[in-house]
Amino acid sequence: MSKTKLSAEERRSQILAAARTLFAQKGFAEVSLDEIAKRVGVSRPRIIQLFGSKQNIYDAIVEAAYAAHPMDQDLADPIARKDDIAVFEGFARHILKHTEDREDREIVKILMYARLREDSFHRTHFHKKDTLMISRLTDYVGERIRDGGFREIDPRTLIYCYQAMVSNLAIYKNVLGQMDFVTVQALSRECARIFLEGIKQTPG
């Protein structure tokens, strides 16, 4: 029985999935086009025909990873309502929820390699995804400080600290599997509660 021939788009998806797994296991620099071709079961020239280069495969994985997680849409309503707990809980839940499945865990691992090497994945992560949300959340915190709701703290420092806290918890919970005692929902809520207790303006 002959195998069903995949379309170019189906083959591209197959190659991206294989490359993502290999990059997560070994890092971008240590993976060759030959390894990707072997894992997929196609020739190296076919991969070049579809993508042109290993760098283009990497870039395609980056774009797909962050196009799938529109955090700005998730937080638009609570930001508009100035609902502090919903804003920070939603931010935490988004990061924690989107590192639960295998594909997203692979993206986290690739990002960890990328941060060490400061390569294009790292730059895309911060310039195309994080910069957008950090900018919006920084504006939100700045507004809440002016309203008298938060203490006088540099909004950028505050947001980077919160992001770092939640991102590290995502690694402990979803990559290392060391926090099975708490659900994503509960952990998101506690992250927001603990953080807000430290930055809210106290009367007096």
Shared domain for 101 and 139, answered yes or no, is yes
Same domain, 92 and 127: yes
The better pLDDT of the pair 26, 121 is held by: 26
Report pLDDT for 110. Answer: 77
The verdict on 42 and 138 lying in the same domain is: no
> Do 86 and 144 belong to one domain?
yes
Q: Which residue has the higher pLDDT, 131 or 108?
A: 108
Task: Give the highest mean pLDDT range of 13-27, 57-71, 127-141.
Answer: 13-27
Which tokens sit at 131? 């910069």
204: exposed, middle or buried (C-beta count within 10 Å: 0-12, 13-18, 19+)?
A: exposed
* pLDDT attached to residue 1: 41
If asked whether residues 76 and 49 sit together in one domain, one would say no
Asked if the structure places residue 30 within a domain, the reply is: yes
The answer on pLDDT for 98 being more than 60 is yes
Does residue 102 form part of some domain? yes
> Do 80 and 35 have their domain in common?
no
CA gyration radius for the chain? 20
Backbone angles phi, psi at 200, to 5 degrees: -70, 140
Residue 11 identity: R
